[in-house]
Amino acid sequence: MAKTPSGKTSGRGQRDLRVRVKTAKGRKLSSTLWLERQLNDPYVQRARKEGYRGRAAYKILELDDKYRFLVPGARVVDLGCAPGGWCQIAVQRVNALGEKSGKAVGRVLGVDLQEVEPIAGAEIHQLDFLADDADLKVKDWLGGKADVVMSDMAAASSGHKGTDHLRIVALCEAAAEFAFDVLEEGGTFVAKVLAGGAENELQALLKRAFTKVANVKPPASRSDSSEKFVVATGFRGRPDDAARDG
């Protein structure tokens, strides 16, 4: 048994390889802890190695591995796409670059309030998806409706858990309303929410518009985070229309 730098014994003769970060003068402890977590996060390290713009890329990858909505030929809209990790995965999965011989070529459209560095195979636009004509612009750019609308957006943190929960649920509801306007029948909506109890109305809304609604926490989502993802498949139409048809 070997001794670790802290004096503790580790199993199988292995040393404690966790990176420790000292708090620099003028830097908050919270910043130091965040930096230490990033340096020791295997998904962060993997993203750097594989060329993704952030660890969040693995969240959509894992969700798609389970639900298979990013298929070759699919038209995808990524709301709040910065920094671009979800777009990168979508480009690969829907064959936006046409690299998969014999497979249909898809489209990936990313929109964000801020300017985003170009992504090969994706079309990026600086746009507020809450604008009245945003859905018309997106459908014009796509040349039709989307098969998938996805969102990893989160409202700016206030530091108050309850307030942040309400904000992200409201943002998710807005993304869902946008999806109702641009999704093709049978389409999929994927969005991040925070567990906290206020998402019941959102769940009810989605269940009226989609045939299946699942709540998932992919392995890439940190265990200490309250985030989860809603995956709604089989779009039937805007809820009021669906209610009349039903």
pLDDT at position 9 is: 41
Asked if residue 112 belongs to a known ligand binding site, the reply is yes
Q: Is the pLDDT of residue 108 over 60?
A: yes
Determine, yes or no, domain membership for 10.
no
Asked if residue 138 belongs to a domain, the reply is yes
34 marked ligand binding residue: no
Same domain, 103 and 153: yes
* Average confidence score pLDDT of the chain: 83
Q: Is the predicted pLDDT of residue 19 greater than 50, yes or no? A: no
Overall number of domains in the chain:
2
In a domain, 156, yes or no: yes
Of the listed 192, 212, 217, 228, which one is catalytic?
Answer: 192
Q: Please report, for the domain that includes residue 223, its CATH number.
A: 3.40.50.150
Same domain as 239, residue 217: yes
Reply yes or no on whether 192 is catalytic: yes
Question: How does pLDDT run across 163-198, given as a tens digit for each residue?
Answer: 676 788 889 999 999 999 999 999 999 999 877 655
Q: Give the model's pLDDT for residue 17.
A: 40
Interval 134-150: pLDDT, tens? 999 999 999 999 999 99
| pLDDT of residue 21 exceeding 60 | no
* 191 and 74 inside one domain: yes
**118 in a structural domain:** yes
Q: Are residues 95 and 171 in the same domain?
A: yes
Q: Which whole number is the average pLDDT over 51-56?
A: 89
**Residue 69 and residue 109 in one domain:** yes
pLDDT at site 10: 40
28 and 58 in a common domain: no
Q: Is 152 annotated as a binding residue?
A: yes
> Is 151 among the domain residues?
yes
Which pLDDT score is estimated for 42? 76
Three-state SS string over the chain comes to: CEECCCCCEEHHHCCCCCCCCCCCCCCCHHHHHHHHHHHHCHHHHHHHHHCCCCCCHHHHHHHHHHHCCCCCCCEEEEECCCCCHHHHHHHHHCCCCCCCCCCCCCEEEEEECCCCCCCCCCEEEECCCCCCCHHHHHHHHHCCCEEEEEECCCCCCCCCHHHHHHHHHHHHHHHHHHHHHHEEEEEEEEEEEECCCCCHHHHHHHHHHEEEEEEECCCCCCCCCCEEEEEEEEECCCHHHHHHHC
Tell me whether residue 84 is annotated as binding. yes
pLDDT category at 36 given cuts 50, 70, 90 is very low
Same domain, 89 and 192: yes
- 26 in any annotated domain: yes
Q: Are residues 31 and 80 in the same domain?
A: no
Check whether residue 46 and residue 127 sit in a common domain.
Answer: no
Q: Name 214's Cβ contacts closer than 8 Å, sequence gap at least 6.
A: 67, 230, 231, 232, 233
128 is in an annotated binding site: yes
Mean pLDDT score, 112-138: 97
pLDDT in tens, 146-168: 999 999 997 666 666 666 767 88
Task: Verify that 180 and 89 share a domain, yes or no.
Answer: yes
Are 39 and 102 within one domain?
A: no
Q: Is 12 a domain residue?
A: no
Residue 63 falls within a domain, yes or no? yes
Q: Of 18 and 110, which is predicted with more confidence?
A: 110
Domain span at residue 31?
A: 19-50
- Position 34 scores a pLDDT of 41
- Looking at the structure, tell me whether residues 27 and 91 fall in a common domain: no
